[in-house]
Amino acid sequence: MATKEPIITLSAGPVAAYPGVMRALSRPIEYDYDRHFLELYEAVNRKVTQALRSATPALILHCEPAPGLEAAAASLIGPDDVVLNLASGVYGKGFGYWSARYNKELLEIEVPYNEAIDPASVEAAFRKRPDIKIVSVVHHDTPSGTINPVKEIGQIVRKHNALMLVDAVSSWAGMDIHPEESCSDVFVTGPGKCLGGAPGLTIMAVSDRAWKHMEANPKAPRASILSLLDWKEAWRHDKPFPFTPSVAEVNGLDGAIDLYLAEGPEAVWKRHALTAQACRAGIKAMGLSLWAAREEIASPTCTAVRVPDGIKDSDILAASRALYGVVFSSGRGETQGKLIRIGHMGPVAEPIYAVVAVTALGGALRKLGRKTDVGAGVAAATAVIDQARA
């Protein structure tokens, strides 16, 4: 390889996995129908269910969450369904395209991509269109680093007897979000972000109401990677797999979920939040702007920073990589070129990495000619840490 390995990866995902996950990935590959693996698979599923705080057994799909969301759309959305898609970012907008393949009609509420969905607008939509059957929303629209008020939206959706599909891929396990308390019917996430695992699997929680809807959907895929129904019972050690599960990924997930439960979810969320808070303080102290319109909607798992005028995002990424070996993410689609994303997920959701981020971003900007007070940034970041850990 012409390029050296990065020194520290602070991307918006895939993120560096915990060492314990790396070890779990290296376990012997077992035959999927050997009883030992069947029992392991069931045990992993139970632990994932517990971590999801889900009332129904977790659903594991053997592809990463983007196709997992495609499969969810294909399985859930029937030809008679009116879908309300809430778009506050690139991923939210994108889900509408999948939805449109299957639904009867697509309604959409769209807000600027540095904003969050207003629950009142969802309430208004239901008033106008009581035939809305499914509401889809991204909890953390990663390309914007912003959080939608899914719990508030969920209550409205349930009140109107519709189903809510939530993309919580890059927020779950990094903050307090779960399917039950958010009234999510299809809750989609994965191990490759805040859980500090490897990408390559989708984790879902599907409510009984959503299962019923799918079972009634005449177009719901079967004998297909797009099928959720195929895998509904596959977690039981006495049920067959629709196709070969990704054994190594299951091993890795087992490692990741054990670490999460052992550390304690509340402790994990707390260090994600503190890292993001320290990072935002440092960013602002360097005279940079957060992408999020308001700090309250800035994600605790990813900080999006507006690219200063006259500077190219790719130059910033390259300078950070060259000077410090530190890797950030650029924007995606509409946000590409406009922001830089600093991930706080899994093992790098530790306050010291906020300092690393502030330094590398600030130093890169300074290198590119922008007057940037890196020292002020670090001082502000450490002040936050200092106060929180008094």
In angstroms, give the least distance from the CB of 350 to its own copies. 5
Spatial separation of the C-alpha atoms in residues 18 and 137, rounded to whole Å: 29
Tell me the per-residue interface mask from 190 to 219 with its own copies, x by CB under 8 A, - otherwise: --x-----xxx-------------------
Spatial separation of the C-alpha atoms in residues 344 and 9, rounded to whole Å: 10
Closest CA to 291 of 260, 320, 334: 334
Residue 63 vs 183, nearer CB to its own copies: 63
Using CB under 8 A, which of 51, 71, 276, 302 touches its own copies? 71
Residue 130 vs 369, nearer CB to its own copies: 369
The reply to whether 271 sits in an annotated binding site is no
98 CA to centre of own chain: 18
Residue with tokens 């177009």: 219
CB 305 within 8 A of CB 365: no
Using CB under 8 A, which of 116, 194, 226, 304 touches its own copies? 226
Query: Which residues within the stretch 81-100 sit at the binding site for its own copies (CB under 8 A)?
Result: 97-98
- Residue 262 lies near its own copies (rule: CB under 8 A): no
Burial track 83-92 (b if 16+ CB lie within 10 A, e otherwise): bbbbbbbbbb
- Residue 314 lies near its own copies (rule: CB under 8 A): no
Spatial separation of the C-alpha atoms in residues 7 and 26, rounded to whole Å: 22
Looking at 19-27, 127-135, 179-187, 294-302, which segment touches its own copies (CB under 8 A)?
19-27
- Residue 325 lies near its own copies (rule: CB under 8 A): yes
Q: CA dist 175 to 60, 266, 270, Å? A: 21, 8, 8
Q: Which amino acid is at 262?
A: A
In angstroms, give the least distance from the CB of 95 to its own copies. 11
If DSSP codes are grouped into helix, strand and coil, which group holds residue 12? coil
In angstroms, give the least distance from the CB of 103 to its own copies. 16
Residue 27 vs 53, nearer CB to its own copies: 27
Query: Which residues within the stretch 357-386 sit at the binding site for its own copies (CB under 8 A)?
Result: 359-360, 362-363, 366-367, 373-379, 382, 385-386
Query: Which residues within the stretch 126-185 sit at the binding site for its own copies (CB under 8 A)?
Result: none
Q: Two tokens at 195?
A: 């859980």
Using CB under 8 A, which of 63, 157, 228, 234 touches its own copies? 63
Q: How many residues does the chain have?
A: 390
- Residue 33 lies near its own copies (rule: CB under 8 A): yes
Closest CA to 170 of 237, 93, 246, 92: 92
Residues in the annotated binding site for substrate: 341
